[in-house]
């Protein structure tokens, strides 16, 4: 079984009202049989960070904290170069420990009539379904506590029908995510190294699409994603192209139809609003 951990970067609000330019979800994959060794490896990694930078082993490390020097990092007054090194080290340790990562991004600058958060989680479930199918393994999803209802509804819908497109070939494949185990599990990111890695993965992916400004480029330059190295889960877009491991969607959907319902931008279909709760 694969254990998938996910976290988002950005928000679902409209850009014209101060929302982010994108909504991204990062995901890291851990084989269940390797989990104990990987967890021990992450503890050892965090101890090295404590020795060198003074970061508490149990401190939550997220992209926003590293970029802004905020949260538990504020008292340490780390220089931007040090925070950038810490960010890259987190991505680099993934390949050392056997963790894979990928991300999906909805470019809100080119999206109309589609809720970016709903679309992003649908895209994530598509890629997890295809991964479970081709690797012949079940998947259990854990995500940062927050959009719990949305993630649960998307996963339950995926068990009935989900459409995977050109990432694995031409045309569209309608499948049921039968190998998705139980409902996704909400988890406080401060209590999970894996979810924190997913957060950093999402932000690194976001920066490949949206170049950082002058205040950020010294911490997370546009090419930061390359630090994942062999940890990139390339199968999610090896046919459709783009930066390996990053699925980007620019969608213009139709206006809302009378009577409600939900638009599935990947399959270009409307579904009934009477869904499983």
> Does the pLDDT at position 275 exceed 60?
no
Which secondary-structure segment (H or E) carries 64?
helix 63-68
pLDDT of residue 111: 60
Instruction: Report whether pLDDT(260) > 80.
Output: no
pLDDT of residue 162: 63
pLDDT tens track for 69-103 = 999 999 999 999 999 999 999 999 999 999 999 99
- What percent of the chain is modeled with pLDDT above 70? 84
Say how far apart CA 223 and CA 220 lie, in whole Å.
8
Cβ(199)–Cβ(27) below 8 Å = no
Burial class of 171 by CB neighbour count within 10 A (0 to 12, 13 to 18, 19+) = exposed
8 Å CB contact between 30 and 195: no
Nearest Cα neighbor of 204 from 22, 33, 35 is 22
Is residue 147 over pLDDT 80?
yes
Indicate the angle between helix axes 35-53 and 193-209, nearest 10 degrees.
70
pTM (predicted TM-score): 0.87
Average pLDDT over residues 224-236: 97
Residue 164: band (very low, low, confident or very high) from pLDDT cuts 50, 70, 90: low
Question: In the prediction, which pLDDT does 252 show?
Answer: 58
pLDDT greater than 80 at residue 152 = yes
Which residues lie across from 270 on neighbouring strands?
263
Domain-wise residue ranges, the chain: 2-271
For residues 220 and 207, the answer to whether their CB atoms sit within 8 Å is yes
Of the pLDDT bands very low, low, confident and very high (cuts 50, 70, 90), residue 274 is very low
Average of per-residue pLDDT values in the chain: 87
- 14-41 confidence digits (pLDDT tens): 888 888 999 999 999 999 999 999 999 9
173: pLDDT strictly greater than 50: yes
């Amino acid at each position: 079984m694969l254990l998938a951990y996910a976290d988002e970067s950005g928000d679902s609000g409209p850009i014209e009202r101060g929302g982010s330019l994108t909504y991204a979800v990062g995901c890291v994959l851990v084989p269940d049989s390797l989990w104990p060794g990987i967890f021990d490896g992450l503890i050892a990694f965090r101890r090295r960070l404590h020795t060198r930078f003074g970061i508490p082993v149990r401190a939550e490390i997220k992209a926003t904290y590293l970029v802004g020097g905020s949260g538990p990092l504020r008292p340490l007054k780390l220089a931007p170069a040090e925070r950038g090194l810490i960010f890259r080290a987190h991505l680099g340790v993934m390949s050392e420990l056997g963790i894979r990562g990928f991300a999906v991004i909805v470019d809100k600058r080119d999206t109309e009539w589609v809720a970016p958060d709903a679309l992003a989680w649908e895209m994530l479930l598509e890629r997890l379904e295809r991964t479970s199918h081709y690797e012949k393994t079940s998947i259990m999803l854990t995500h940062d506590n927050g959009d719990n209802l949305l993630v649960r509804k998307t996963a339950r819908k995926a068990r009935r029908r989900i459409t995977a497109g050109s990432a694995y070939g031409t045309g569209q494949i309608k499948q049921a995510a039968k190998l998705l185990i139980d409902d996704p599990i909400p988890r406080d990111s401060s209590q999970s190294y894996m979810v924190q890695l997913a957060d950093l993965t999402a932000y690194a992916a976001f920066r490949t699409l949206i170049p950082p400004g002058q205040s950020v480029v010294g911490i997370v330059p546009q090419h930061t994603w390359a630090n994942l190295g062999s940890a990139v889960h390339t199968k999610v877009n090896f046919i459709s192209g783009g930066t390996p491991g990053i699925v980007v969607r620019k969608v213009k959907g139709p206006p809302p139809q009378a009577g409600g319902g939900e638009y599935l931008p990947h399959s270009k279909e409307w579904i009934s609003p009477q869904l499983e709760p």
